[in-house]
């Protein structure tokens, strides 16, 4: 063969295969021998460390202990991480702002900010107050490291012996951690966070610093924070000057400032003071003879200040001031607010009356109320049953499931997409994955045909869910965003209110419909002035006019449907006999939340009741059963006259018609007597004023006196603004004010086509599965 490969020595010209094979074999053999030698040498070396007997047991115990310690460290880190995320040193200061709040008429209603922080150094706080606090709240404060195990056991034993809660188990550091970073929610998770935050505070700050922070940040009742503010409030003097009886009274307020406030319950305050004096003797700080004089001469209270303060509203208003004044370089401010103090008090009384009347029976202990006007002007906020017990504002910060009250946004979206109140729908819905909606009580859809308004009035879950699928859940989310509600997630049961909303934002969402479709973002500040009297912010000047976020037609049709929820549906207990009411009930699964959001032509009011720890209420409790009666009671006293505007889309209530006729006759009589022009001029002049007339008069007098003192001639009186500049435009009443029809015009030719036949690009709803399994939101009603 003539092939180079088979020629003699042809392969060896390129690779010597025999030599390569020999080299490879020898290398592998030598490597294996070396590995065995090293292994044997290592085994012989480590054999000398082999433990037997008790040494081996001790080694095993140490190894297991290290393993368990490492695992425990990982677990502790996992538990501590949420607590460390809550830690924020900026919360040590109430804020860099010092704000004085006024009502609409210019009367001071409260203060917030840094006015009392660090006002008195710890060295100048009386020794008797420090000892009274330690004897009552934490006797081993200077001995423990944030957690007092022995003190907790002692408090537990004392409480068992007394058959009531006499002593608390939380240290001062734990209480400070709760006051600064946490809410008063009673849960294991909150307690774990409190423990780790206490350790963190102890590791970063000295005992004296912690004690000073505690004295400065504790709530002491009457809207005061810190012992200096409390001393000024109750005794009219600095904490530096208090005696033993007054110190004992202040120390007794830390546990429950509202319950033991001498302005609320003097007998309870005196009893608590005597208990603190007993603690001083038991702790060995004083003898019985030394405290005897304090028992015989109790603290005298200065009652020059009101015992109630709109604290819930002020806390929210303070947040609004910080937002509006941010970046403007001014920190000592005066803000005029929108609060109605009478309405605020009535709202607090309405909630507390319901809690006392039905709280134990129906198993709920908390609630929140927001009252605003249709344009978003907030008039009252109630963030909980007792501000002294818990300052967590449930009206503005707690996100709770709205249940069926969320359906208003779904139905409004449907009205924007071709549906009408009279569109015929069916009581059924398609499934979404493995989930199938069911109506209240766990019943599936009946398949019955009924008009859209009746489905809302009966709060049918199947119809609301199907509507969200038909019009598109993304469109529903877009509707909520236009109404100022953020964070709604696209889920199968979204239409049944499975997300979380605050009472404030939910109420403002309903206010958009009461405002004829115009945006109704909540606001509580009318104007802000600096310490020099300069106008820093004016809502009338700085805020744009509200946008039309929902068409008037949709808003009016929605109002007609919501009115029928009250007159013919689930919210019958909210109906008023003197004006029209529109609104929607809501109940979450459990039931854990009960809602009613409703409005008249004058007020929009949201009511929520439930439990802070998310425990379910008594079975059968609904928004129509609990929240609607609270709303009814509050609105009955809130409307002081019958001159109530008409809800857009509804005909005036007969009582409003009578009142309008009476006012028209009165106006005619005033015109005939020549009184009307002067009254109108006075009203217009007052309406355009930012500063109250009394305040303006005092300032003018002061300026005049200063000019005379300096020999400066008086300036000529300026012409009144009302005479030189036109007043702000008053928007003419919308067509809804003169509307005389009861419902939106019927369009019967579309009634049977929008759901039974595809039309206008709307898909035909599919028939729901015959499965009647209860949905997780079957309780939403």
Q: What is the pLDDT of residues 640-699, one digit of tens each?
A: 888 899 999 999 998 888 888 888 888 888 888 877 654 444 444 444 445 556 666 666
pLDDT at residue 598, rounded to an integer: 97
Enumerate the active-site residues.
Answer: 137, 404
485-503 burial by CB neighbour count: b if 16+ within 10 A, else e?
Answer: beebeeebbbbbbbbebbb
pLDDT at residue 680, rounded to an integer: 46
pLDDT-wise least confident of 311-315, 413-417, 642-646:
642-646
pLDDT at residue 77, rounded to an integer: 63
Q: Regarding predicted confidence, which is higher, 303 or 265?
A: 265
Element (H, E) at 596: strand 593-599
The pLDDT confidence band at residue 3, using thresholds 50, 70 and 90, is low
733-751 mean pLDDT: 38
pLDDT surpassing 80 at residue 51: no
Average pLDDT, rounded, for the chain: 81
Q: Regarding predicted confidence, which is higher, 14 or 175?
A: 175
Contacts 24+ apart (CB under 8 A), 568-571: 568/454, 568/457, 569/456, 569/457, 569/458, 569/459, 570/404, 570/457, 570/458, 570/459, 570/622, 570/623, 570/624, 570/781, 571/596, 571/598, 571/623, 571/624, 571/628
238-248 mean pLDDT: 93
pLDDT at residue 496, rounded to an integer: 94
163-176 mean pLDDT: 70
Opening angle at CA 105, ends 685 and 689, nearest 5: 25
Q: Regarding predicted confidence, which is higher, 742 or 89?
A: 89
Given a contact cutoff of 8 angstroms between Cβ atoms, the answer to whether 406 and 542 are in contact is no
pTM above 0.75, yes or no: no
Q: Regarding predicted confidence, which is higher, 215 or 47?
A: 215
Q: Regarding predicted confidence, which is higher, 361 or 182?
A: 361
Q: Regarding predicted confidence, which is higher, 41 or 698?
A: 41
pLDDT-wise least confident of 173-177, 294-298, 323-327, 522-526:
173-177
pLDDT at residue 645, rounded to an integer: 93
Opening angle at CA 162, ends 156 and 168, nearest 5: 40
pLDDT surpassing 90 at residue 171: no
The pLDDT confidence band at residue 97, using thresholds 50, 70 and 90, is confident
CA distance 442 to 525: 45
pLDDT at residue 409, rounded to an integer: 97
Mean pLDDT: which of 87-96, 153-162, 440-449, 478-487 is highest? 478-487
pLDDT-wise least confident of 110-114, 385-389, 654-658:
110-114
The pLDDT confidence band at residue 304, using thresholds 50, 70 and 90, is low
Q: Regarding predicted confidence, which is higher, 537 or 643?
A: 537
572-583 mean pLDDT: 95
Neighbours of 736 (CB within 10 A): 20
pLDDT surpassing 80 at residue 373: yes
CA distances from 591 to 122, 394, 659 (A): 49, 18, 41
Mean pLDDT: which of 504-513, 655-664, 744-753 is highest? 504-513
Residue written as tokens 């019967």?
748
The pLDDT confidence band at residue 608, using thresholds 50, 70 and 90, is very high
pLDDT surpassing 50 at residue 759: no
40-66 mean pLDDT: 79
Given a contact cutoff of 8 angstroms between Cβ atoms, the answer to whether 411 and 456 are in contact is yes
pLDDT at residue 461, rounded to an integer: 93
CA distance 228 to 650: 55
pLDDT surpassing 90 at residue 161: no
CA distance 686 to 700: 17
């Amino acid at each position: 063969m003539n092939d180079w490969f088979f020629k003699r020595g042809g392969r060896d010209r390129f690779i010597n295969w025999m030599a390569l094979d020999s080299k490879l074999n020898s290398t592998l053999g030598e490597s294996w021998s070396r590995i065995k030698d090293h292994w044997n040498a290592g085994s012989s070396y480590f054999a000398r460390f082999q433990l037997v007997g008790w040494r081996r047991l001790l080694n095993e115990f140490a190894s297991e202990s290290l393993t368990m310690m490492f695992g425990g460290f990982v677990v502790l880190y996992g538990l501590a991480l949420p607590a460390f995320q809550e830690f924020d040193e900026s919360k040590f200061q109430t804020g860099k702002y010092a704000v004085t709040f006024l009502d609409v008429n210019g009367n001071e209603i409260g203060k917030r900010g840094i006015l009392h922080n660090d006002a008195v150094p710890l060295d100048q706080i009386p020794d008797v107050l420090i000892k009274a606090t330690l004897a009552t709240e934490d006797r081993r404060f200077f001995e423990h490291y944030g957690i007092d195990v022995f003190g907790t056991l002692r408090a537990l034993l004392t409480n068992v012996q007394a058959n009531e809660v006499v002593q608390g188990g939380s240290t001062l550091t734990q209480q400070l951690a709760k006051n600064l970073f946490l809410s008063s929610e009673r849960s294991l998770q909150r307690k774990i966070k409190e423990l780790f935050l206490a350790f963190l505070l102890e590791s970063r700050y000295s005992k004296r610093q912690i004690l000073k922070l505690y004295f400065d940040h504790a709530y002491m009742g009457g809207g005061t924070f810190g012992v200096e503010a409390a001393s000024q409030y109750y005794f009219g003097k600095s904490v530096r000057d208090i005696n033993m009886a007054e110190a004992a009274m202040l120390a007794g307020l830390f546990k429950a400032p509202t319950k033991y406030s001498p302005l609320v319950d003097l007998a309870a305050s005196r009893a608590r003071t005597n208990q603190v004096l007993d603690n001083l003797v038991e702790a060995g700080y004083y003898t019985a003879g030394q405290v005897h004089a304090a028992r015989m001469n109790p603290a005298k209270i200065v009652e020059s200040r009101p015992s109630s303060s709109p604290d819930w509203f002020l806390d929210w208003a303070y947040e609004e001031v910080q937002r509006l004044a941010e970046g403007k370089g001014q920190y000592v401010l005066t803000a005029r607010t929108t609060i109605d103090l009478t309405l605020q008090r009535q709202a607090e009384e309405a909630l507390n009356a319901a809690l006392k009347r039905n709280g134990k029976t129906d198993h709920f202990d908390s609630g929140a109320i927001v009252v605003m006007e249709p344009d978003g002007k907030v008039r009252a906020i109630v963030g909980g049953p007792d501000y002294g017990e818990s300052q967590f504002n449930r009206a503005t910060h707690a996100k709770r499931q709205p249940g069926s009250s969320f359906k208003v946004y779904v139905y409004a979206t449907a009205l924007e997409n071709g549906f009408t109140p009279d569109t015929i729908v069916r009581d059924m819905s398609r499934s979404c994955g493995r989930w199938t909606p069911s109506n209240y009580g766990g019943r599936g859809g009946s398949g019955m045909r009924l008009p859209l308004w009746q489905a809302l009035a009966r709060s049918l879950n199947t119809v609301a869910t199907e509507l969200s699928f038909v019009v598109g859940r993304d469109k529903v989310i877009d509707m909520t965003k236009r109404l100022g509600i953020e964070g709604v997630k696209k889920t199968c049961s979204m239409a049944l209110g499975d997300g979380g909303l605050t009472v404030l934002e939910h109420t403002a969402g309903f206010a958009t419909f009461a405002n004829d479709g115009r945006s109704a973002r909540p606001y509580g500040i009318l104007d802000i002035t600096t310490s020099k009297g300069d106008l820093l912010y004016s809502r009338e000047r700085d805020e744009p006019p509200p946008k039309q976020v929902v068409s008037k037609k949709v808003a009016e049709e929605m109002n007609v449907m919501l009115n029928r929820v009250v007159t013919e549906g689930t919210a019958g207990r909210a109906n008023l006999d003197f004006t029209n009411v529109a609104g929607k009930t809501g109940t979450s699964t459990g039931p854990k939340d009960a809602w009613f959001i409703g409005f008249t032509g004058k007020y929009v009011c949201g009511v929520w009741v439930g439990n802070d720890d998310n425990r379910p209420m008594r079975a059968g409790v609904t928004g129509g059963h609990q929240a609607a009666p609270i709303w009814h009671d509050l609105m009955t006293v809130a409307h002081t006259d019958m001159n109530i505007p008409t809800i857009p889309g509804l005909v005036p209530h007969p009582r409003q018609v009578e009142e309008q006729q009476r006012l028209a006759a009165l106006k005619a009589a005033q015109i005939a007597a020549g009184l009307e022009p002067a009254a109108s001029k006075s009203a217009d002049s007052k309406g355009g004023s930012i500063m109250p007339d009394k305040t303006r008069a005092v300032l003018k007098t002061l300026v005049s006196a200063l000019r005379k003192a300096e020999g400066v001639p008086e300036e000529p009186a300026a012409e009144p603004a009302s005479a030189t500049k036109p007043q702000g435009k008053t928007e003419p009443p919308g067509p809804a004010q003169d509307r005389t029809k009861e419902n939106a015009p019927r369009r019967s030719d579309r009634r049977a086509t929008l759901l039974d036949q595809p039309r206008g690009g709307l898909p035909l709803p599919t028939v729901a599965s015959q499965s009647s399994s209860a949905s997780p939101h079957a309780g939403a009603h």
